[in-house]
Amino acid sequence: MITIIPAIDLIDAKCVRLSQGDYNQKTVYNENPLEVAKMFEDAGITRLHLVDLDGAKAKHIVNHKVLELIASKTKLVIDFGGGLKSDEDLRVAFESGAQMVTGGSIAVKDRDTFLHWIETYGSEKIILGADAKDKMIAVSGWQEVSELSILDFIESYTSKGIRQVISTDIARDGMLTGPSIDLYKEIMSQFPELGLIASGGIATMKDIYELDEMGIPGVITGKAIYEGRISMEEIKLYNLNNL
């Protein structure tokens, strides 16, 4: 059974979504992220992907108070990302209630620090963010495309103990055009034991069922929920049927 992981993206402590990571294409869906998190919990959701978009821009953690609030008022297992660049950022994230953190740009630009985090906290707490455009890793809020292929990038960290990877096909993120099936098939073929979490493009429950049939362990969805294309009732039913 695939784990459905809703996303809450934060700007100014509000629940927003961007299209293809573009800060100029921002929609505010709810001014109360805790309310949204509780709605997810009521539908049987157990895990939350919380992204600090202000932090991604500022290059340090910003919305830790929202993290703390959701962590203290729900039982959701929260993985937190966005702008985590230093040991201090990680300390604040974990002390604020994150059970896991996601590092993407840092894993490209400061490999030593990211490896230090894996060593210090263990691979169950550190998730690799592998966001790609045309199968090449993109960083810095997707503003820069590197010369690293996604498969080589994942390989370089699974060999160092990484077990969970969130992979977003940037071209599909927030576009509701369906997930990047071919990309995920390629990743799972090369790394069959990987805890891969697919992200980007999810439009309906059909997309989630397709990923489930492929054996993908987790899927992140945001816009499809906020736009009403996937209802809380559908998620609730899915979770009840797979208890």
* Active site members: 9, 131
Sign of CA dihedral 98, 99, 105, 110: positive
At 163, the amino acid letter reads R
Q: Which of 195, 225, 150, 185 is nearest to 2 (CA)?
A: 195
d(CA 50, CA 47): 10
Q: Which two tokens stand for residue 182?
A: 């071919």
Q: Do 165 and 139 contact (CB within 8 A), yes or no?
A: no
Q: Do 234 and 205 contact (CB within 8 A), yes or no?
A: yes
Q: Give 146's DSSP letter.
A: E
Q: Does residue 128 sit in helix, strand or coil?
A: strand
Q: Do 214 and 185 contact (CB within 8 A), yes or no?
A: yes
d(CA 111, CA 104): 10
